[in-house]
Amino acid sequence: MKLLHTGIQLSTKENVDRFFGQLLNLKPDREYTVPVELMRDVFLMEKEASVRIYSIGGQDVEIFFDIGQSVPSVNHLCIRVEDMEDFISRALELGFHIFEKEREGKPNLVFVYDDDGNPYEIKD
């Protein structure tokens, strides 16, 4: 079995660009629109959605946006970075919220939150 992709929701294209473009330095692989009929049938939403696909470590991430605010959830992505200090510094410079908790005998627990409050666990 292999996980093929995951999907998350951000409220606006600007929020997608800030997090995935400015912070993670990613470029979208492609972008498309999901028509309202398909959104209704699959996600029970009465709204057309814009979607961008990014590849992170060979894994596709579908970012749905322009469909309203996301709601609090325990859903999250875990991303490995090469330099944790540099990543945290850049995230803070860009104004993203960081949660960091020291743990005895384990690496620190680190989460960064995008502008819609979606959590991303960060490991190095």
What confidence category does residue 55 fall into, taking pLDDT thresholds of 50, 70 and 90?
Answer: very high
55 or 72: which leads in pLDDT: 55
Q: Which CATH class is domain 5-123?
A: alpha beta
Domain spans in the chain, listed from the N-terminal domain onward: 5-123
pLDDT tens-digit map of 68-109: 776 667 788 999 999 999 999 999 999 999 999 999 999 999
Read off the DSSP letter of residue 18.
Answer: I
pTM of the model: 0.85
- The tokens describing 67, both together, are 């469909």
Distance CA 70, CA 61 (A): 16
Number of Cβ within a 10 Å radius of residue 109:
13
Instruction: State the pLDDT at residue 28.
Output: 96
